[in-house]
Structure formats: structure tokens, C-alpha cells
Structure 1
């Protein structure tokens, strides 16, 4: 198992155990750090919005058109904004760092 480093909405840091092949949204949700993921990973709600740390953005696969379209519906985006339901955890991203943005 690997690790995802997360800063939650209150500013607290968490090192979460990650499971190969799981969506990052599922890992965040199951660890109870404040992730809803209402659509269950269908790229349909954007409730799993995260901000990936700058050092990690280029290490992740490029977002697909569906993800970009859904992100465009959010009121506030940052350079590392992604939908965590579209990021599948693998050993290549062990140590991934991200922040849960403040809800608007």
C-alpha cells in the first residue's frame, strides 16, 4: 500500500493509506476526510474536486474532456484543480499530495 498526503478543509494534514486501482475519491471518502463523491465516480457532480500540489500535476494523466467540462462548472478553479474520481491510484503516484478546496 502507498500513501496520499491530504490537507483537509480545516487545514489538517493526513497521510492516507492508498489502495492500488482505487479512485482517489474513494480513498478520500473512505478515510472520512470530508470527501462526498456523490456521483460515485461517474464524473457527473464535481463534489470530489481537489487541488493537486504543483509538483504532482505533471505526473498525473491529463484530464479527459468530460472532466474538464465538469470542472468548468465550478465557481472557483486553481491551477491543479482535478476531480479525484478521475485519478486512479497506482504505485507511480505514491506520495501524491493534494488539498481539499474550501466549499464555495
Structure 2
């Protein structure tokens, strides 16, 4: 924005106060590099990340809760584990709404077979996991686990507790 002040032009910074949303892209396919899951760059549609309507999913995923009860779910291809859990009422919090800024979606990948199939954690995820209570060797953040057909049958265990700097007990709703 440009404004005039005593006969001269002054540049005034403009703060964005609205968000611009893009139309969902529905037909993106995974891009394979060296034909392995670890080397995959997965492009997913926005529909998979927060949409509670539509297909229920076809990929079996188990969540093991704090009380050791097991919940069987069906994930959509490209859906993140956090959104899958929220869609099925599993208490995986996700206080930062999957923006990779907290540890409230911390979980454990139970089977080594599936652990080996996941891409390595990024440095940011590793740094956040260092702050998670009850950290284990098989710890990951649910917002960073992208469900694919190769991960069929993956078992994710929730930790005894998580640490939420927002408000204890607050569970953000996907939008």
C-alpha cells in the first residue's frame, strides 16, 4: 500500500488478514523415485487430510490406546495417521493441526516391518520428538505418517501421555 505524507510517497506494509483457499486437487498420484516407499515423494489431495465425508477407506490400520484396547480403522490412500485417528474418534490430539509444531500426535510404530517402510523422519520431526514424553526408538508423529497400501496392517500405539502447551484437554477439530 502506498500513502502520501507531507508531499512524499511512503510505503506502508500491508498485513494479510484473509486466507486464500485453493480448490482441492483430487487426482494426484504418488511420484516414485527408485521405486521404493522410503524414496517416495507422495502428493496427496487436500480431501484426504480433513474431510470426514466420502470414502471410508480400504487400508486397515490399528490403533492401540492407552488402556491397551485395539481399534481397527480403514484409511484412505494418502491420509495422514492423525486425520485417520480424528475421523474415527481415536484420542490422538494434534494440537498444532498437523503443522509439525507440537508432539501431541506422538505414537509408536509397533511392527519393525512397517517402521522400515516409513520414510526417515525429517530433522524437524526428530527435534520435536526429542521433546515428547515417553520417547522410544519407534516413536513418530502421526501427522508425518502418510498411509499407503504398502502400510496395510500398520499398528500405531498411543503413548501414556502427551504434552500440550495449548490448553490441556483441548482437542482441535479438523476443518
Matched, 1:102 2:160: yes
CA offsets, 1:51-101, max 9 Å, x none? 001422111111011100100112321111000100111111111111001
Q: TM-score, normalised by structure 1?
A: 0.93
* TM-score between both structures, scaled by the size of structure 2: 0.57
Q: Which runs of 5+ in 1 are unaligned?
A: none
Which of 52, 64, 69 pairs up with 2:109?
A: 52
Q: RMSD of the TM alignment (CA)?
A: 1.1
Which of 77, 86, 89 aligns to 1:20? It is: 77
CA contact (8 A) 1:5 1:14 kept: yes
SS of residue matched to 1:38: coil
Give the helix-richer structure, 1 or 2. Answer: 1
Please state how far the C-alpha of 1:38 moved relative to its aligned partner. Answer: 1.3
Question: 2:124 & 2:72 partners in 1: Cα distance?
Answer: 29
Structure 1 counterpart SS, 2:83: helix
CA distance in 1, matches of 2:133, 2:67: 20
Match of 1:36 in 2: 93
Gap runs ≥5 in structure 2: 1-57, 163-175
1:81 aligns to 2:139 (yes or no): yes
The runs of at least 4 consecutive aligned structure 1 residues that moved more than 3 Å come to: none
Aligned residues: 104
1:69 aligns with 2:127: yes
The structure number with the bigger radius of gyration is 2
Which of the two has greater strand per residue? Answer: 1
